[in-house]
Amino acid sequence: MTIKIAILAGDGIGPETIGQAVKVLEVLRDQHGLGLELEHAPVGGSAYDQAGTPLPESTLALARQADCILLGAVGGPKWDTLERNVRPEKALLQLRAELGLFSNLRPAMLFPQLASASTLRAEVVAGLDLMIVRELTGGIYFGKPRGIRSLDDGQRQGYDTLLYSESEIERIARVGFDIARKRDRRLCSVDKANVLETSVLWREIVSHVGKQYPDVTLSHMYVDNAAMQLVRAPKQFDVIVTDNMFGDILSDAAAMLTGSIGMLPSASLDASGKGMYEPIHGSAPDIAGQDIANPLATILSVAMLLRYTANQAELASLVDRAIARVLDDGLRTADIYTGTGRKVGTREMGEAVVSALKSVS
């Protein structure tokens, strides 16, 4: 099987980190038998500069036709004053909507070698490996009616609507259970069923879907408790499934447990497993073009792509092991450098992963 990947490098450090990820893919093709077709297209601010839109038709067509997308990052001060509908970030929202990417996978994992980079004690976070599955296209961020209205007493009132249908809950629950099956078979559904009606329905539907996954242990937790548990004892979690807003907040909190956004990948998937893979960090304009950005989040996005779209779990763990080897060897980009080991740039880190890939088995 050949996997076709649309490579959208984007802006800022995007092209630098994507360049290293592409090298990794090429080694997997040349030395590990991965069937691969790569096609590049512009997105974000650089696409706006070329074509007057952050998501040109040709880029969208390629994204539709490819098996998945590997995206660098978009945005930067150069485009901050543009109208909202042509801002670089608009391209991401449009891609998610056009491709029906309703589930967002946000792993928080901490290589033991980097435990000292976390603000939490090393024993609390070393070896952390949890996955947050966030519903991405529904809930309070999209519910209508919404707006700011004037009240009779003259003051204004803001309002939003939180809506979840049974089918929306069921499909994200299935993603959670399916992913738990590929991991430690424990799923924690996070809601606020003691206060919100949508959460009462959420809990009922998730429990119902759970009957079809007897091999996965399902638990439920209120979101306020989940926030506390994430910072108290994060290693208790395997997979968390939750709604759009709770997932937005909890996934950023979980990301910070690991100490560096330069190490964290993400995926947004549709119902068939097609997806967009990208690091969680932005385009980091402050360090762009200096060969100091950490490329590992983007390379770990390649590992996710191999696991969740290409169904190549072995190649995915090969990439994980290559990264572990490089960290064992003491190589650190500036963002994860804590005074020991050797500080390296973007390119040298990418090349080290490539050469580790050639030797790990």
Cβ count near 154 (within 10 Å): 6
* 281 sits near ligand NAD (criterion: CB under 6 A): yes
Beta strands in 13-141 (DSSP E): 35-40, 68-73, 103-109, 129-135
Nearest distance from C-beta of residue 88 to ligand NAD, angstroms: 7
Instruction: Let me know: does 131 contact 238? Beta carbons within 8 Å.
Output: yes
Cα distance between residue 226 and residue 208, in whole Å: 22
Which residue in the set 25, 282, 308, 356 belongs to the binding site for ligand NAD (CB under 6 A)? 282
Q: Which region, judged by CB under 6 A, interacts with ligand NAD, from 71-79, 138-146, 183-191, 195-203?
A: 71-79
**Complex with ligand NAD: residue 171 or 281, whichever CB lies closer:** 281
* 287 sits near ligand NAD (criterion: CB under 6 A): yes
Q: Is 211 helix (H, G, I), strand (E, B) or coil?
A: coil
Interaction with ligand NAD in 338-357: which residues (CB under 6 A)?
A: none
Beta strands in 17-76 (DSSP E): 35-40, 68-73
**Complex with ligand NAD: residue 13 or 130, whichever CB lies closer:** 13
Per-residue mark of binding to ligand NAD, 75-94 (x: CB under 6 A):
xx------------x--x--
Which residue in the set 3, 187, 218, 284 belongs to the binding site for ligand NAD (CB under 6 A)? 284
Q: Which residues of 300-334 are buried (b: 16+ CB within 10 A; e: fewer)?
A: bbbbbbbbbbbebeebbebbbebbbbbbeeebbbe
Nearest distance from C-beta of residue 286 to ligand NAD, angstroms: 5
**Complex with ligand NAD: residue 143 or 285, whichever CB lies closer:** 285
* 278 sits near ligand NAD (criterion: CB under 6 A): yes
List active site positions: 141, 192, 224, 248, 252
* 265 sits near ligand NAD (criterion: CB under 6 A): no
* 286 sits near ligand NAD (criterion: CB under 6 A): yes
Q: What does the DSSP 8-state code read for residue 198?
A: H
Which residue in the set 59, 258, 283, 301 belongs to the binding site for ligand NAD (CB under 6 A)? 283
**Complex with ligand NAD: residue 69 or 284, whichever CB lies closer:** 284
Per the structure block, which two tokens stand in for 171?
């499909």
Cα distance between residue 175 and residue 269, in whole Å: 9
Between helix 14-32 and helix 346-359 the angle, nearest 10°, is 10
Respond yes or no on whether the N-terminal peptide bond of residue 145 is cis (omega within 30° of 0): yes
Place of tokens 């980009």: 333
Per-residue mark of binding to ligand NAD, 12-31 (x: CB under 6 A):
-x---x--------------
Would you tell me which residues interact with ligand NAD (CB under 6 A)? 13, 17, 73-76, 89, 92, 261-262, 278, 281-287, 293-294, 297, 335
